[in-house]
Chain A
């Protein structure tokens, strides 16, 4: 897939900048709307890098979601944008579980370690110990 423009693909000589400026108008974040090539010093029309250097796996993991839900609910990362979510999670988890999690979380240090473990799929074995098995096999871990 041609993600980036190639030197030979622009049919209008000298139109590189115009092509770019048209593209940038549609960025959805305001801060990305005023991108100026010259200011950024970017060589536009860089050949597309070979994506075989990297493979992305998109994952949906119940334990990773559980972890972040607990983290937001206990306010480990208090932000304006997650207040509503935290409120909802407080209705889902019993108070003692949230209290225990907050103690263990210990200002991020524990959470980083556990998230690291979860991403290495230790969660799989933990998951098997719980009563939840219904759709496990359909999820990519």
Chain B
């Protein structure tokens, strides 16, 4: 890593100030982000495993949970920061529960799609509780971040013309298609089960059981 850093140093000097500007924008809405995550935790009855969450701001287009107290967030991904941060934190909250439960009904690949779909349902549920003033605040911050992040990377399509690029695009589309399929499949039962205020593990099991046939034929 140290050796690699000497090649990276010049690039880092160039990109660092933009990342710090993004950090500055995020600091303005830190409390809102904290409240969104706390609400997600309350909504699914899963306690936060940490009282301190680190959000690493990246120039690379990436977003994922790193461990139970840290997530990675790349503003160059075309997803609003509050959705991405909330989505990745729900992964931290839920852990492997959905994947493990899903493997009873499908293979690893689809277990991942199901996991992502349920994270999206949690995210949607939380965001639907936003009041207009808070939404506007987050949207304005997102616009500021987007302006900074456009300097990170031009979104060209040249690479997608290569075979590797086309393969990646195909995989990406397929993944999104299945996640959307599972979101639509689960949506009605999700809202019904959410009203019952069940333990999250029970909720997930019930959701999968109710939709076992649709998962099987996906």
**Are A and B interaction partners?**
yes
Mark A residues whose CB is within 8 Å of B. Answer: 1-5, 9, 19-20, 22-24, 26-29, 31-32, 35, 37-42, 44-46, 48-51, 53-72, 77-85, 87-88, 92-94, 97, 101, 115-116, 119, 126-127, 129-132, 134-135, 139-140
16 residue pairs bridging A and B, Cβ less than 8 Å apart:
A1-B134, A3-B130, A28-B142, A39-B191, A40-B125, A42-B194, A53-B51, A54-B48, A58-B27, A58-B57, A60-B23, A63-B5, A68-B58, A80-B172, A81-B78, A93-B7
Q: Are B34 and A54 within 8 A (Cβ)?
A: yes
Q: Which residues of chain B in 127-184 are interfacial with respect to chain A, using CB atoms and an 8 Å cutoff?
A: 127-136, 139, 142, 153-156, 158-160, 164-165, 167-169, 171-172, 180, 183
Q: Are A51 and B127 in contact (CB under 8 A)?
A: no
Q: Could you say which residues of chain A place their CB within 8 Å of the CB of B132?
A: 19, 22-23
Contact B19 A66 (CB under 8 A): no
Q: Check B83 against A85 for contact (C-beta < 8 Å).
A: no
B187 in the interface (beta carbon within 8 A): yes
> Distance in Å from the Cβ of B198 to the closest Cβ of chain A?
12
Interface residues on B, range: 35 or more
Q: Say whether, besides A92-B7, A93-B7, A87 and B159 are in contact (CB < 8 Å).
A: yes
Residues of chain A within 8 A (CB-CB) of B1 are 63, 66-67, 126
Interface: B202 (CB within 8 A)? no
A2 to B135, CA, bound (A): 11
Contact A37 B80, beta carbon cutoff 8 Å: no
Interface residues of B in 52-79 (CB under 8 A from A): 52-62, 66-67, 69-70, 72, 74, 76-79
**When A and B form their complex, which 8 residue pairs have the shortest distance between CB atoms, in order from nearest?**
A41-B191, A51-B34, A83-B159, A49-B38, A5-B131, A119-B70, A68-B60, A80-B169
CB of B54 within 8 A of CB of A35, answer: no
Residues of B within 8 A of A22 (CB): 132
State in angstroms the CA–CA spacing of A27 and B136 once bound together: 9
- Given A3-B130, A49-B42, A69-B59, A60 and B37 touching (CB < 8 A)? no
The answer to whether residues A54 and B37 also contact, given A40-B191, A80-B172 and a CB cut-off of 8 A, is yes
Q: Does B3 contact A (CB under 8 A)?
A: yes
- Chain B 2-17, CB-CB to A under 8 Å as 1, else 0, gives 1111111101110110
**In terms of DSSP, what is the predominant structure of the interface of chain B?**
helix
Question: Does B124 reach chain A (CB closer than 8 Å)?
Answer: yes
A35 adjacent to B5 (CB under 8 Å):
no
The answer on a CB contact under 8 Å between A70 and B4 is: yes
What is the bound-complex CA distance between A119 and B54, given in angstroms?
8
Q: A78 to B12, alpha carbons, bound, how many Å?
A: 22
> B51 near A72 (CB under 8 angstroms)?
no
Measured CB to CB, the nearest residue on chain B to A91 is: B11
- Using known A-B contacts A72-B61, A84-B153, determine if residue A59 contacts B56 with beta carbons closer than 8 Å: yes
Please tell me if B195 contacts chain A, counting CB pairs below 8 Å: yes
Known: A51-B35, A58-B30. A84 touches B191 (CB 8 A): no
When the two chains form their complex, are residues B172 and A81 in contact, meaning their CB atoms are under 8 A apart? yes
Q: CA–CA, A58 to B55, complex, Å?
A: 5
- A112 and B218 alpha carbons, distance in the complex (Å): 30
* Cross-chain contact B38 with A83 (CB below 8 angstroms): no
**B31 within 8 Å of A by Cβ?**
yes
